[in-house]
C-alpha cells in the first residue's frame, strides 16, 4: 500500500530510478500511518486521564524520534544524489561534443566499477546518467525539487541534530537544551519538540509537522524561488535568523518591496505584512540589504 506521504516522496525526481529509495519512502509512509493512530490514541488517553499517560507518551516519543531519523536519512541520501546529478549536468553543459562523450563514458565507467551488483547489472545510476544526457527538462526538474525541499530539510536537519547529537545546529558542539524531551501536541497528540536553532532563536516542531511538510512536497513552489542570477547577490547579507535574510527586492517592472524574507538563499518566505506573496519571485532582478 502506497500512502500519501510515500507518494509525495516518490514523486521527487530520482526516486523513480531507484527502487530502494522508493522502498524506504513506503516504509516511512507505513510507519507514519501507524504513528498517527498512536498519536490519536495518546490524545484521547490524555483527555480521559486529565494528565500525561507516561508509558504511552514515552513509547510514542521513542518511535517518533526514530521515524524522524529515518526521514532525515532518506532526504539526506536524496540530496546527495541530486548533487551528483547536477554536478554532472553542469560539467556537460559547456562541453564540446567530444568532451561531453568523454565525461559521460567516464561517469558510466565509475558506475560500473562501483556497482554493488556486478559490472554488467543495472543499479539505476546509469539510467540517471542517460536521462541527464538526453533530457534537459529532467535536470531542471531535479533542481526545482531541490529548491522546494531545502527549507523542509533544514528544519528536519536542525531537529535531528537536537535529538541525535544533543547539540545546537551549526554551533560546533554547543550542547542542546533538554534533547529528546517532548510535549504532547493538544491538536493531534503528536510529540512536539522545542529546540534552539540559533541562540536565542527557538523553534518548535512535532513529528506530525514533519510528516505534513513531506506530504506538501507535491506543491509547486517555483513562484517562490529566486532566480539563480539573483541568489549570488545574497552573499554578504547577514542572516537575521536561522537560514533567514531580510532584503529589499527589485522587480523587472521597477517595483520595490521592503522586508522580504528569504530562506536558505533561495525561497521567499514572506513579504512585509502581505498575507500572500504579492509577486512572482522569478520576476526579481535585484536584492540588497535594507541598510543600502
pLDDT in tens, 204-246: 999 999 999 999 999 999 999 999 999 999 999 999 999 999 9
Residues in the chain: 292
For residues 151 and 264, what is the distance between their CA atoms, to the nearest angstrom? 7
Is 266's pLDDT higher than 70? yes
Smallest CA-to-CA distance from 192 within 172, 216, 175, 209 is with: 209
Is 42's pLDDT higher than 60? yes
**pLDDT confidence bin for 111, thresholds 50/70/90:** confident
Q: What is the pTM of this model?
A: 0.93
Handedness of CA 26, 27, 28, 33 (dihedral sign): positive
For residues 279 and 224, what is the distance between their CA atoms, to the nearest angstrom? 9
Helices 54-92 and 97-114 sit at what angle, rounded to 10 degrees?
A: 140
Amino acid at each position: 500500500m502506497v500512502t500519501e506521504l510515500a507518494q509525495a516522496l516518490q514523486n521527487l525526481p530520482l526516486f523513480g530510478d531507484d527502487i530502494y529509495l522508493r522502498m524506504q519512502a513506503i516504509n516511512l509512509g507505513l510507519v507514519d500511518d501507524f504513528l498517527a493512530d498512536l498519536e490519536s490514541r495518546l490524545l484521547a488517553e490524555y483527555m480521559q486521564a486529565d494528565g500525561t499517560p507516561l508509558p504511552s507518551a514515552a513509547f510514542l516519543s521513542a518511535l517518533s524520534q526514530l521515524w524522524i531519523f529515518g526521514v532525515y536519512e532518506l532526504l539526506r541520501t536524496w540530496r546527495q544524489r541530486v548533487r551528483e546529478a547536477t554536478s554532472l549536468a553542469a560539467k556537460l553543459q559547456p562541453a564540446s561534443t567530444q568532451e561531453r562523450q568523454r565525461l559521460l563514458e567516464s561517469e558510466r565507467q565509475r558506475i560500473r566499477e562501483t556497482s554493488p551488483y556486478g559490472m554488467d547489472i543495472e543499479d539505476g545510476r546509469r539510467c540517471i546518467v542517460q536521462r541527464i544526457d538526453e533530457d534537459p527538462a529532467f535536470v531542471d526538474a531535479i533542481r526545482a525539487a531541490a529548491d522546494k525541499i531545502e527549507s523542509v530539510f533544514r528544519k528536519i536537519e536542525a531537529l535531528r541534530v537536537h535529538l541525535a547529537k544533543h547539540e545546537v545546529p551549526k554551533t560546533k558542539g554547543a550542547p542542546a537544551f533538554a534533547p529528546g524531551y517532548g510535549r504532547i501536541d493538544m491538536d493531534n497528540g503528536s510529540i512536539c519538540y522545542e529546540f534552539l536553532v540559533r541562540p536565542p532563536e527557538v523553534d518548535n516542531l512535532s513529528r506530525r509537522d514533519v510528516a505534513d511538510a513531506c506530504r506538501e512536497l507535491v506543491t509547486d513552489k517555483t513562484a517562490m524561488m529566486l532566480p539563480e542570477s539573483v541568489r549570488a547577490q545574497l552573499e554578504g547579507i547577514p542572516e537575521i535568523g536561522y537560514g533567514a535574510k531580510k532584503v529589499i527586492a527589485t522587480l523587472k517592472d521597477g517595483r520595490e518591496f521592503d522586508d522580504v524574507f528569504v530562506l536558505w538563499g533561495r525561497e521567499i518566505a514572506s513579504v512585509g505584512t502581505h498575507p500572500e506573496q504579492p509577486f512572482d519571485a522569478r520576476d526579481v532582478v535585484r536584492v540588497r540589504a535594507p541598510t543600502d
